[in-house]
Amino acid sequence: MTLKNKNIIITGGGRGIGAATAKLLAGFGGRVFIVSQTKAELETIANEIKLSGGEAVICAGNVADEKSVRSIFDIVATFGGADILVNNAAVGIMKPFLELTNEDWANTLEVNVMGIVFCCREAIRQMQGKNEGSIVNISSLGGLERLQKFVGFSAYSVSKFGVVGLTECLAEEVKSLGIRVNCLAPGAVDTQMLRMAAPQFKANTQPIDVARLIHFLCDQDLSGSMTGNVIPYFCN
Protein backbone atom coordinates (compact mmCIF):
# COMPACT_ATOMS: atom_id res chain seq x y z
CA MET A 1 0.00 0.00 0.00
CA THR A 2 2.81 2.37 -0.92
CA LEU A 3 0.35 4.98 -2.27
CA LYS A 4 -2.00 4.89 0.71
CA ASN A 5 -3.60 8.29 1.44
CA LYS A 6 -2.19 9.75 -1.80
CA ASN A 7 -4.59 11.78 -3.93
CA ILE A 8 -3.94 10.81 -7.56
CA ILE A 9 -5.51 12.63 -10.51
CA ILE A 10 -5.59 10.66 -13.77
CA THR A 11 -6.84 12.42 -16.87
CA GLY A 12 -8.28 10.37 -19.69
CA GLY A 13 -9.17 7.86 -17.00
CA GLY A 14 -12.26 6.38 -18.60
CA ARG A 15 -10.51 3.89 -20.85
CA GLY A 16 -7.20 2.67 -22.23
CA ILE A 17 -3.99 3.59 -20.42
CA GLY A 18 -5.81 5.95 -18.04
CA ALA A 19 -8.30 3.32 -16.88
CA ALA A 20 -5.57 0.70 -16.45
CA THR A 21 -3.50 3.18 -14.45
CA ALA A 22 -6.43 4.14 -12.23
CA LYS A 23 -7.15 0.52 -11.34
CA LEU A 24 -3.47 -0.27 -10.75
CA LEU A 25 -2.74 2.75 -8.53
CA ALA A 26 -5.95 2.26 -6.55
CA GLY A 27 -4.70 -1.25 -5.85
CA PHE A 28 -1.63 0.27 -4.21
CA GLY A 29 -3.84 2.28 -1.86
CA GLY A 30 -4.16 5.54 -3.76
CA ARG A 31 -7.37 7.56 -3.86
CA VAL A 32 -7.82 8.02 -7.61
CA PHE A 33 -9.66 10.92 -9.18
CA ILE A 34 -10.51 9.73 -12.67
CA VAL A 35 -11.12 12.48 -15.21
CA SER A 36 -12.92 12.19 -18.55
CA GLN A 37 -15.67 13.91 -20.49
CA THR A 38 -17.65 10.65 -20.67
CA LYS A 39 -19.32 10.08 -17.31
CA ALA A 40 -20.60 6.60 -18.17
CA GLU A 41 -17.04 5.36 -18.75
CA LEU A 42 -15.91 6.87 -15.46
CA GLU A 43 -18.73 5.18 -13.58
CA THR A 44 -17.77 1.80 -15.00
CA ILE A 45 -14.11 2.15 -13.98
CA ALA A 46 -14.98 3.61 -10.57
CA ASN A 47 -17.32 0.70 -9.85
CA GLU A 48 -14.63 -1.81 -10.77
CA ILE A 49 -12.19 -0.08 -8.43
CA LYS A 50 -14.66 0.05 -5.56
CA LEU A 51 -15.60 -3.62 -5.98
CA SER A 52 -11.89 -4.42 -5.62
CA GLY A 53 -11.72 -2.47 -2.36
CA GLY A 54 -10.18 0.69 -3.79
CA GLU A 55 -11.25 4.31 -3.63
CA ALA A 56 -12.23 6.26 -6.73
CA VAL A 57 -13.78 9.70 -7.26
CA ILE A 58 -15.45 10.54 -10.57
CA CYS A 59 -14.52 13.92 -12.07
CA ALA A 60 -16.36 14.52 -15.33
CA GLY A 61 -14.75 17.42 -17.15
CA ASN A 62 -12.77 18.71 -20.10
CA VAL A 63 -9.03 19.26 -19.57
CA ALA A 64 -8.97 21.74 -22.45
CA ASP A 65 -11.34 24.02 -20.48
CA GLU A 66 -9.52 25.92 -17.74
CA LYS A 67 -12.68 26.47 -15.69
CA SER A 68 -13.48 22.77 -15.86
CA VAL A 69 -9.98 21.90 -14.67
CA ARG A 70 -10.31 24.30 -11.74
CA SER A 71 -13.58 22.64 -10.75
CA ILE A 72 -11.91 19.23 -10.82
CA PHE A 73 -9.08 20.38 -8.57
CA ASP A 74 -11.58 22.06 -6.24
CA ILE A 75 -12.95 18.56 -5.63
CA VAL A 76 -9.43 17.24 -5.01
CA ALA A 77 -8.80 20.08 -2.55
CA THR A 78 -11.63 18.86 -0.32
CA PHE A 79 -9.64 15.63 0.15
CA GLY A 80 -6.40 17.44 1.03
CA GLY A 81 -5.06 18.43 -2.37
CA ALA A 82 -3.14 16.72 -5.14
CA ASP A 83 -0.19 14.43 -4.45
CA ILE A 84 0.22 12.80 -7.86
CA LEU A 85 -0.94 13.86 -11.34
CA VAL A 86 -0.94 11.63 -14.43
CA ASN A 87 -1.56 13.69 -17.57
CA ASN A 88 -2.84 11.02 -19.92
CA ALA A 89 -5.78 12.66 -21.76
CA ALA A 90 -5.11 13.17 -25.46
CA VAL A 91 -6.72 13.27 -28.86
CA GLY A 92 -5.28 11.91 -32.09
CA ILE A 93 -6.43 13.46 -35.35
CA MET A 94 -4.63 11.61 -38.12
CA LYS A 95 -4.83 13.32 -41.51
CA PRO A 96 -2.35 14.32 -44.21
CA PHE A 97 -0.91 17.76 -43.48
CA LEU A 98 -2.82 19.55 -46.25
CA GLU A 99 -6.11 18.10 -45.01
CA LEU A 100 -5.70 19.26 -41.42
CA THR A 101 -7.97 22.21 -40.70
CA ASN A 102 -7.28 25.04 -38.29
CA GLU A 103 -9.89 23.47 -36.04
CA ASP A 104 -8.01 20.15 -36.10
CA TRP A 105 -4.80 21.89 -35.05
CA ALA A 106 -6.54 23.93 -32.35
CA ASN A 107 -8.34 20.91 -30.90
CA THR A 108 -5.15 18.82 -30.82
CA LEU A 109 -3.07 21.51 -29.14
CA GLU A 110 -5.81 22.53 -26.71
CA VAL A 111 -6.23 19.00 -25.36
CA ASN A 112 -2.73 17.57 -25.71
CA VAL A 113 -0.75 20.63 -24.60
CA MET A 114 -2.94 23.22 -22.90
CA GLY A 115 -4.83 20.48 -21.05
CA ILE A 116 -1.54 19.47 -19.43
CA VAL A 117 -0.64 23.10 -18.74
CA PHE A 118 -3.96 23.70 -16.94
CA CYS A 119 -3.71 20.49 -14.90
CA CYS A 120 -0.06 21.04 -13.96
CA ARG A 121 -0.80 24.59 -12.86
CA GLU A 122 -3.56 23.54 -10.47
CA ALA A 123 -1.67 20.48 -9.22
CA ILE A 124 1.49 22.44 -8.42
CA ARG A 125 -0.53 25.01 -6.50
CA GLN A 126 -1.86 22.20 -4.31
CA MET A 127 1.45 20.32 -4.03
CA GLN A 128 3.77 23.24 -3.29
CA GLY A 129 3.07 23.36 0.44
CA LYS A 130 3.69 19.62 0.86
CA ASN A 131 7.34 19.64 -0.25
CA GLU A 132 6.64 16.57 -2.38
CA GLY A 133 4.60 15.46 -5.35
CA SER A 134 4.88 13.67 -8.65
CA ILE A 135 3.68 14.59 -12.12
CA VAL A 136 3.82 12.09 -14.99
CA ASN A 137 3.12 13.42 -18.48
CA ILE A 138 2.32 11.02 -21.30
CA SER A 139 3.95 11.90 -24.62
CA SER A 140 4.71 9.49 -27.46
CA LEU A 141 7.59 8.14 -29.52
CA GLY A 142 6.10 10.49 -32.13
CA GLY A 143 7.15 13.38 -29.87
CA LEU A 144 10.84 12.43 -29.76
CA GLU A 145 13.46 13.60 -32.20
CA ARG A 146 15.33 11.37 -34.64
CA LEU A 147 12.71 8.63 -34.57
CA GLN A 148 10.61 7.64 -37.57
CA LYS A 149 7.47 9.68 -38.13
CA PHE A 150 4.38 8.63 -40.06
CA VAL A 151 2.15 10.26 -42.66
CA GLY A 152 -0.84 11.96 -41.07
CA PHE A 153 0.72 12.37 -37.62
CA SER A 154 1.97 15.97 -37.89
CA ALA A 155 -0.53 17.62 -35.51
CA TYR A 156 -0.26 14.78 -33.00
CA SER A 157 3.55 14.74 -33.13
CA VAL A 158 3.82 18.51 -32.72
CA SER A 159 1.63 18.34 -29.63
CA LYS A 160 3.66 15.49 -28.15
CA PHE A 161 6.93 17.38 -28.73
CA GLY A 162 5.30 20.13 -26.68
CA VAL A 163 4.65 17.69 -23.83
CA VAL A 164 8.35 16.75 -23.77
CA GLY A 165 9.46 20.38 -23.73
CA LEU A 166 7.03 21.28 -20.96
CA THR A 167 8.20 18.33 -18.87
CA GLU A 168 11.86 19.29 -19.10
CA CYS A 169 11.22 22.96 -18.28
CA LEU A 170 8.74 22.29 -15.51
CA ALA A 171 11.01 19.78 -13.78
CA GLU A 172 13.58 22.53 -13.22
CA GLU A 173 11.02 25.12 -12.12
CA VAL A 174 9.46 22.98 -9.38
CA LYS A 175 12.51 21.06 -8.21
CA SER A 176 12.95 23.40 -5.24
CA LEU A 177 9.35 22.64 -4.20
CA GLY A 178 10.11 18.93 -3.89
CA ILE A 179 7.91 18.12 -6.90
CA ARG A 180 9.13 15.64 -9.51
CA VAL A 181 8.08 15.84 -13.18
CA ASN A 182 8.75 13.01 -15.59
CA CYS A 183 7.51 11.98 -19.02
CA LEU A 184 6.74 8.61 -20.55
CA ALA A 185 6.76 8.33 -24.36
CA PRO A 186 5.21 5.01 -25.47
CA GLY A 187 4.92 3.66 -28.97
CA ALA A 188 1.82 1.91 -30.29
CA VAL A 189 -0.43 0.61 -27.50
CA ASP A 190 -3.62 -1.40 -28.05
CA THR A 191 -6.17 1.29 -27.17
CA GLN A 192 -9.45 2.41 -28.67
CA MET A 193 -7.87 5.73 -29.71
CA LEU A 194 -5.17 3.96 -31.72
CA ARG A 195 -7.65 1.57 -33.33
CA MET A 196 -9.85 4.47 -34.41
CA ALA A 197 -7.12 6.91 -35.46
CA ALA A 198 -4.62 4.51 -37.03
CA PRO A 199 -6.15 1.07 -37.63
CA GLN A 200 -3.13 0.11 -39.75
CA PHE A 201 -1.05 -0.23 -36.58
CA LYS A 202 -1.29 -3.59 -34.85
CA ALA A 203 -0.12 -3.17 -31.25
CA ASN A 204 0.73 -6.03 -28.93
CA THR A 205 1.48 -3.78 -25.95
CA GLN A 206 -1.48 -3.49 -23.58
CA PRO A 207 -2.49 -0.49 -21.43
CA ILE A 208 -1.54 -2.31 -18.22
CA ASP A 209 2.04 -2.63 -19.50
CA VAL A 210 2.31 1.16 -19.70
CA ALA A 211 0.44 1.59 -16.42
CA ARG A 212 3.13 -0.37 -14.58
CA LEU A 213 5.82 2.09 -15.65
CA ILE A 214 3.56 5.02 -14.76
CA HIS A 215 3.24 3.48 -11.29
CA PHE A 216 7.03 3.34 -11.03
CA LEU A 217 7.34 7.04 -11.86
CA CYS A 218 4.51 8.04 -9.52
CA ASP A 219 5.72 6.10 -6.49
CA GLN A 220 8.65 7.80 -4.78
CA ASP A 221 9.46 4.56 -2.97
CA LEU A 222 10.30 3.13 -6.41
CA SER A 223 11.61 6.05 -8.49
CA GLY A 224 13.22 8.06 -5.69
CA SER A 225 14.47 11.47 -6.81
CA MET A 226 14.00 10.92 -10.56
CA THR A 227 12.86 14.12 -12.27
CA GLY A 228 13.13 15.68 -15.72
CA ASN A 229 13.34 12.30 -17.42
CA VAL A 230 11.76 11.56 -20.79
CA ILE A 231 11.53 7.79 -21.07
CA PRO A 232 10.92 6.19 -24.48
CA TYR A 233 8.81 3.04 -24.35
CA PHE A 234 9.49 0.97 -27.46
CA CYS A 235 6.72 -1.57 -28.03
CA ASN A 236 6.37 -4.80 -29.99
> Which of 176, 183, 165 lies closest to 233 in space, CA to CA?
183
Rounded-to-integer distance, Cα 30 and Cα 79, Å = 12
Alpha-carbon dihedral of residues 125, 128, 134, 136, nearest 10 degrees? 30
Residue of 41, 156, 180, 184 marked catalytic: 156
- 233 part of the active site: no
Which residues are tagged catalytic?
Answer: 156
